[in-house]
Chain A
């Protein structure tokens, strides 16, 4: 007799597809927040599966800090074209020009906190009432209690004490005018699950996830890439290293790791052996113990 078992990856996929379909049914105008990273690429793949053979019924929204890896931007544009998905881009620079966001002072300012401003502006401008994010609960402490359907008030803010309980697979997307939701279809995935799934489904990724040579500078233990957005400090100099990226963000704060991993199998091996969480290389989370929680409250993904 057939055992009717589903592997962990099949169950996670099914759960995510279920979430995508729920959101399509419960909301007027959902949007997929697309960072260009592997988690959001995986989300797009899951969304395609959820509605196949129809096209993905949501646009992609990319909040562009202006400090992105060119490889990631090129990948983004190709992906939108290949799958015939609308791509909406919100430029942090526009918010700075408008005066709604202000660049941090000092050398090598991070534009990560400014992303929240542009994001909220774009969500309002587009009339989006649900925004899919690639957040996972294993990523960071503040996310362990995050809901699949995360309620935001009409300022886009997250109140950790006022989240709706989620039972079984019954998701409540009811909201008042002006309120919105962030939706996290891959909440239950770990970094390893994502990599295994990418391998299983043969999902394409930007080249910078794989080992390559790059000029980098070691700053506080983090390898930062040579880019027009990075200013060398006194006593700093670039050197060429064989590196790759585990996560993609602003070029000024996303650290590379030294790695020879050039295939998905190599990466999976490496992730398995890694002793640092992938966000460990993100300077923005190191700023304070509760950095992520504070940014979430302000409307960050």
Chain B
């Protein structure tokens, strides 16, 4: 905190942390927050007190990240927690996901908004099943950057050979995944080696520290700046004397760039018009790009409402009622083939019916199984759905915003599935 005061235009990086039990994830997060002065004295006092009450021998840094009474009593982390720290260069949002109970569902949730994933490996254990599972989920969710932290290097005498061996093991496995940017850093979260500063114990490692890497990873080009998309969220109608005829189509730019004067098409109607203005309370803008929330006004009066999609006439999204998804099931009630759900996609929603489970993916081996069709909580499967009206989408691989859906159970109103359109 101490050093970011004057920096009004920092960058923002969202990352997720995944690790198994006892691999030092809490310690690592604690260290990043502590070394960037994001932990306050009263927070430290509070966890010292709690540690004493519990009879822990030393200050238990995990208490800083285990927030709810229910889970402190049980000693487990049951949900995604969000943590914050900043350096003069970037503000960071960590989606801290538990490595064990409900791991898949929580990891998918945390990964859905992340630009980067940190995967922790215990240097004494090497690549284990959970490492593969975490990497697969990061790849499935189209996270473009992974930092593999080989932790607890202090417990293996900072041995380069062990680090290299784990790196090769990981790369051999990773060949099956699509992650464009993978980096490896040998660290000791407990002692701080290579976390903020380069370690003096590992001269053989010439790369940057973890924090330096987090500050400098290029993420701007991960956005889709080609396919212009704006789902209409809300129509602004002031109905005041001053703005009598104002119709602002409000939404979050989900892809590409929109410029004043450009021709656009509105789906499903297919009508075209030109952008008259990109309005905001702080004045008009010349262009809008992701992830800006804006309001567009058009030259022509067209009937436009929430759920419509604004795009460019020569670059339109797919429009279809028959959609294939990779789904992560989130609910204890399993997926029902033939069952009806509500699908939520951008600002649009529609009823849908699940037609078929094509295959299930074993998240540990990445093998596809066409025989297994039971999809229950934490399972990942490819399914086919038929929607009551067309969705205007891109493949998830091309655009995370226009390629993602959630399924809602109409009876319980719960969010039961997270889907990525193929």
Docked CA distance A165–B106 (Å)? 8
Asked if B183 is an interface residue, CB under 8 A from chain A, the answer is no
For window 286-301 of A, CB contacts with B under 8 Å fall at 289-290, 293-294
Asked if B401 is an interface residue, CB under 8 A from chain A, the answer is yes
Contact B93 A53 (CB under 8 A): no
Contact A170 B344 (CB under 8 A): yes
The interface-forming segment of B108-116, B145-153, B358-366, B382-390 is B108-116
Cβ of A152 to closest chain B Cβ, rounded Å: 13
Docked CA distance A143–B80 (Å)? 11
Contact B257 A4 (CB under 8 A): yes
Residues of B near A275 (CB, < 8 A) are 40-41
Instruction: Bits for A273-294, please: 1 = Cβ < 8 Å to B, else 0.
Output: 1111100100000000110011
Asked if B314 is an interface residue, CB under 8 A from chain A, the answer is no
Asked if A14 is an interface residue, CB under 8 A from chain B, the answer is yes
Residues of B within 8 A of A (CB): 1-6, 8-12, 40-43, 46, 49-50, 65, 67-70, 78-84, 86, 90-91, 93, 105-106, 108-109, 112-113, 220, 223, 225, 233-234, 236-240, 242-243, 246, 248, 250-252, 257, 279-282, 287, 289-293, 295, 306, 330, 342, 344-345, 347, 400-401, 404-406, 408, 413-415, 418
Contact B252 A174 (CB under 8 A): no
Interface size class of A (residues with CB under 8 A): 35 or more
Contact B404 A170 (CB under 8 A): yes
Partner of A11, one of B12, B108, B251, B404: B12
Docked CA distance A192–B88 (Å)? 12
Contact A161 B78 (CB under 8 A): yes
The verdict on A167 contacting B418 (CB below 8 Å), with A24-B234, A273-B2, A276-B40 known, is yes
Asked if A130 is an interface residue, CB under 8 A from chain B, the answer is no
Cβ of A271 to closest chain B Cβ, rounded Å: 7
Contact B220 A4 (CB under 8 A): yes
Residues of B near A289 (CB, < 8 A) are 46, 49-50, 69
The verdict on A169 contacting B40 (CB below 8 Å), with A6-B292, A54-B236, A54-B238 known, is no
Residues of A near B280 (CB, < 8 A) are 49, 52
Cβ of B412 to closest chain A Cβ, rounded Å: 9
For window 144-196 of A, CB contacts with B under 8 Å fall at 144-145, 160-161, 163-170, 172, 174-176, 187-188, 190, 192-193, 196
Contact A51 B69 (CB under 8 A): no
The verdict on A192 contacting B41 (CB below 8 Å), with A6-B291, A55-B238 known, is no
Residues of A near B243 (CB, < 8 A) are 53-54
Sampled A-B contacts (27; CB under 8 Å): A4-B223, A4-B289, A7-B10, A7-B11, A12-B12, A13-B293, A14-B252, A24-B234, A50-B250, A50-B293, A52-B236, A52-B280, A53-B248, A54-B240, A137-B82, A145-B82, A165-B109, A165-B418, A167-B406, A168-B112, A168-B400, A170-B345, A170-B405, A172-B414, A188-B93, A199-B8, A293-B68
Contact B82 A272 (CB under 8 A): no
Asked if A242 is an interface residue, CB under 8 A from chain B, the answer is no
